Amino acid sequence: MTLSLDPKQQAARTWFESLRNRICAEFEAIEREAGSDASFIYTPWDREAAGLTPGEGGGGVRGVMKGKIFEKVGVNVSTVAGEFAPEFAKTIHGADESPAFFATGISLVAHMANPHVPAVHMNTRYLVTSKSWFGGGADLNPPLPREEDTAHFHAELQAACDAHDADYYPRFKAWADDYFFIPHRGVHRGVGGIFYDHLECTDDAGFEANFAFTRAVGDAFLKAFPPIVRRRMGESWADEDYRTMLEWRGRYAEFNLVHDRGTLFGLKTGGNIDAILMSLPPMASWS
């Protein structure tokens, strides 16, 4: 990658990549505990756009593992820059003044083999247009919800939020409930979590505060999700449970293809197609 990054951009990129490493190591450890030797396969990619030479617009690394516990999990990191297409620029915070952008972040989706283990999504990102800001969040997506798991997941995210601003958790939880909703089905995609965006960095202090919160969200994910996996991965399931999971995955696919803003952002900015669509489940069904 030939992008020239300023200190803030480099700090964000370095953090997202280090978080990727910690998450992938933890997920591989879970596979080892289950007697599996599955590991992540990493595939680098360059952003493709008209007039760009390889690496000029940045790129990323797609990490995918298919194992005994994680039927399919993707953990992607990317750092890209360039210009938005004029019409798309109108939809991006701060891009109406100039189409130039920089973006770095991590995106994760895990689909599990056992219907009792929830699927999960997490991403955090740092974007720069005429403004700069952090965004992200995490949400739990169980085919067969369990109150204990939902409470644990939300408690870890709330602790991360409360340490930075007492208003964050109720505000960002409500935002997730509103965002992760499938209008044509009239149902939520899962049991929620938090979603935040446009935490603007108007000065150095703003950058440090919002970056610290974004790091806390990443740390909270590692406290929230792996314990749930370990709690449920050995449970037995019936054919009916598996059918329920496949139908639920269909709903998940519908949301990501029709409503997810991250999917659209990747497709509109020359991202790697396989990395963008790694969020889709390996198998799904529609009745």
Residue 29 tokens, joined: 């450890």
CA 101 to chain centre: 20
| 3-state DSSP assignment of residue 172 | helix
Per annotation, catalytic residue among 111, 116, 121, 188? 121
Enumerate the β-bridge partners of residue 194.
138
As a whole number of angstroms, the distance between CA 15 and CA 69 comes to: 27
- Phi and psi at 39, nearest 5°, equal -140, 160
Asked if 121 is an active-site residue, the reply is: yes
For residue 190, the 8-state DSSP code is: S
Q: Among 92, 130, 8, which Cα is nearest to 266's? A: 92
The Cα 239–Cα 246 span in angstroms is 11
3-state helix, strand, coil in the chain (%, to 5): 45, 25, 30
Please report the beta strands in the chain, taking only residues with DSSP state E, as ranges in sequence order.
41-46, 58-65, 70-83, 100-112, 119-128, 132-141, 181-182, 187-188, 192-200
Residue 144, Cβ density class (10 Å: 0-12 exposed, 13-18 middle, ≥19 buried): middle
- Catalytic residue numbers? 121
